[in-house]
Amino acid sequence: MMDPFLDTGALARLLAAGEATSRDLTRAALHRAEALSHLAAFLHLDPEGAMDSAAESDRRRSRGEARGPLDGVPVALKDNLVTRGLPTTCASRILAGWIPPYDGTAVSRLKAAGAVVLGKTNLDEFAMGSSTENSAFGPTRNPWDTGRVPGGSSGGSVAAVAAGIVPLALGSETGGSVRQPAALCGVLGLKPTYGRISRSGLVAFASSLDQIGPISRDVEGMAWVLGAIAGPDPLDSTSAPAAVPDYAAGLDAGVAGLRVGLPREYFAEGLDPATRARVETVAEALRDAGATLVDVSLPSSPLGIAAYYVIAPAEASSNLARFDGVRYGPRARDPVDLEDLYVRTRSEGFGDEVKRRIVLGTFVLSAGYQEAYYLKAMAVRRAISADFEAAFSRVDVLLTPTTPGPAFPIGERAGDPLAMYLSDVYTVSVNLAGLPGISVPAGLVDGLPVGAQLIGRAFEEATLLRVAAALERAMPWRDLRPDVAGGGGAA
């Protein structure tokens, strides 16, 4: 029986050597997804479509026409990525039953690389949350401890990778929604530079912050996925015209001579001491590999959460206005007039967290309050970007914790929005500045994973992947896996 925790590189080599077929891998992934359905990682599986895609991949490979290392590899997609012929609900009742007639750009590029789409994964409704508890279809559970959250909002995609269902998945980021759950589930999660990956087909939350990001068990697989889906797109005016390098080419370059900054604000009060110790171990591994550690400051970072929770809800308020019972999904029954249709459809269709953010965003944009809140938040955003620019004049990458501590129990923060929002205290500034960031596994705290975050200059994802690859060689990531069948704990 094949090890379900084989990473993308290992699976690609098995396929290339003819030691496994895509149908073998896809059938095993579907079986494991069903066996681990209690994790609620998936909202929709597509067994027939996945097996058809796998069979086509095998036919291509038999003709010597494989499209690259991802051809035939099973992947999962967060359910806010528009996918032709499959439900795209954003884990919301307001989009129940909507099946798009087209693929988003990232999805179509992943399919063009030959990847086999297994299904759509659970998330916080409209990607608004840090725990995947806000889904209208129930929470996803952390494979390391099913009584705990996997993080969010890309919790379903991350849980699917961490549990050994798929080696790769796509999530999305607005304030940490790939990196934070990746840290809490012990896998790799990348937030690319704003504009590196087209947002066409990503259901909008906050358009100046949103980015699609890959989740993986290995750096090589992440490099392949990023190379496949990155690049300019005429369907997205915010996609950058920057060239896409061969991300896999430099993974063996090492970190000798690299300057790694440790921002003091990220190691202050609020960070779990055991998590800090794990991140410091990562710093020591980089130093042992030849990097130089440099103390730096990002003085505006503590204001990031406050600024984010003004800017993101403001944009969400505008973006979610389109869900009105006219154009998408179900509508309220027997409305007496148009206003009644809007009010009841949105009241019945949206969950509490989405409503909270719409109300907050509408308030900060309203007459008399825009200058007091929104414009000040934008000023903080500029200050955060300036801090990063100053730091990168001295260092090549930054190293920080990804989260303040390990995963918390399901329900523990459900009634305390502020405590929930602080789960992203180390990740939101990267989104506000539009920079790339990656969470790498940093080990276990009380049997639960925590992560270390690497932050880079704009469009220097290759440097982040190079550093992540050096850490992958230096630290025993592949030896850490959840005992999913046993209900949690390291195997």
* Active site residues per annotation: 78, 153, 177
CB 299 within 8 A of CB 265: yes
Looking only at the bridges linking them, the beta strands covering 42-45 and 116-121 are: antiparallel
DSSP for residue 193: P
Nearest to 193 by CA among 230, 142, 138: 230
End-to-end CA distance of the chain: 17
What is the identity of the amino acid at 316?
A
**Would you give the distance in Å from CA 430 to the centre of its chain?**
13
The DSSP result for 272-339, as a single string, is: -HHHHHHHHHHHHHHHHTT-EEEEE--TTGGGHHHHHHHHHHHHHHHHGGG-SSSSSS---SS-SSHH
CB 131 within 8 A of CB 122: no
The H or E element containing residue 449 is strand 448-456
Phi, psi of 36 (to 5 degrees): -105, 30
